[in-house]
A and B are shown apart, each in its own frame.
Chain A
Amino acid sequence: ETGVTQTPRHLVMGMTNKKSLKCEQHLGHNAMYWYKQSAKKPLELMFVYSLEERVENNSVPSRFSPECPNSSHLFLHLHTLQPEDSALYLCASSQELGRARETQYFGPGTRLLVL
């Protein structure tokens, strides 16, 4: 798991707080992803970046704001979240975005609890 790292691993925040999740990949990949994992539900793709350009925003509420300053780093800025946003947030990366056979590599996730 050292290929993709995420911080913090756990986060508790109130609904009025502002916090950020950080992801860093050490694999030299060009594409990065944010997923939301909730209990009993399939993984939900939130955002996709390719070479620092956002290529997908999967109908995610504006209280989630991604940022990709370079191809190695990805942030997810959080503000005025709701309790139903509590979940495991996973970051992933892949070498390229356009090839069907690409494998995505995941970080350990940030467990978020919104009170």
Chain B
Amino acid sequence: AQSVAQPEDQVNVAEGNPLTVKCTYSVSGNPYLFWYVQYPNRGLQFLLKYITGDNLVKGSYGFEAEFNKSQTSFHLKKPSALVSDSALYFCAVRDIGNTGFQKLVFGTGTRFLVSP
């Protein structure tokens, strides 16, 4: 089965500093990787995905992620964090369900706190 790991439960940075949320994956075959963000009292919002092609994926709200096959990583980045970026970030990978359909497997999430 495919899986992702988010090694950090929480990351704290000051506003204006770079945002990096780490994700490593374990897959057989080609990985399909996703990042979602969850703001307080909200559902998950899609940020970006890697399917194939350019290793640097650009997404919503100024976020980007770099696919690194040799390190089996897909870290989420933003050059300059805002206080409003404080949220819970989830990495996910595509897997095959019991009945053969495509499903998402999520990491445990990383809480990112940006201080003013």
Determine if chain A interacts with chain B: yes
A-to-B contact residues, CB < 8 Å: 1, 4, 6, 40-43, 45, 48, 50, 55-56, 58, 90, 92, 97-109, 111
Q: State whether A90 touches B99 (Cβ < 8 A).
A: no
In the bound complex, residues from chain A placing their C-beta under 8 Å from that of B116 are none
User: Besides A48-B97, A103-B49, 10 other CB < 8 A contacts?
Assistant: A40-B108, A42-B106, A45-B97, A45-B103, A48-B103, A90-B44, A97-B102, A98-B102, A103-B34, A106-B45
- CB closest chain-A residue, reference B52: A101
Q: State whether B102 touches A102 (Cβ < 8 A).
A: yes
How many residues on B have C-beta within 8 angstroms of the other chain's C-beta atoms?
A: 25
Chain B residues 58-116 with CB under 8 Å of chain A are 90, 94, 97-99, 101-109
A43-B90, A97-B102 known; A108 and B42 CB under 8 Å?
yes
Secondary structure dominating the interface of A: loop
Q: State whether A42 touches B44 (Cβ < 8 A).
A: no
Report B1 CB to chain A, min CB distance, Å. 12
